[in-house]
Amino acid sequence: MENERIVSPQVLPEDERRDVNVPINTRPEHLDDFIGQENVKQNLKVFIEAAKSRGEA
């Protein structure tokens, strides 16, 4: 049985239809933009501030 290739360099019509209202960059820009993981976010804030105070950021 021959495997069908799923990845293709051609742009498909359904790929061209993109909702204009959806932002291109969906990654959070700030720690406060992340949902959940409050303890992890607080630890990261402490680590980042410590690195900044040492001049490593």
Q: Which two tokens stand for residue 34?
A: 């992340």
Each residue's pLDDT tens digit, 24-34: 677 888 888 88
Q: What is the domain extent for residue 40?
A: 30-57
Residue 24 within a domain: no
Rounded to an integer, the average pLDDT of 25-52 is 91
- Report d(CA 46, CA 4) in Å as an integer: 49
Number of domains in the chain: 1
Residue 2 within a domain: no
Residue 23 within a domain: no
Task: Return the higher-pLDDT residue of 3 and 46.
Answer: 46
Residue 42 within a domain: yes
Residue 40 within a domain: yes
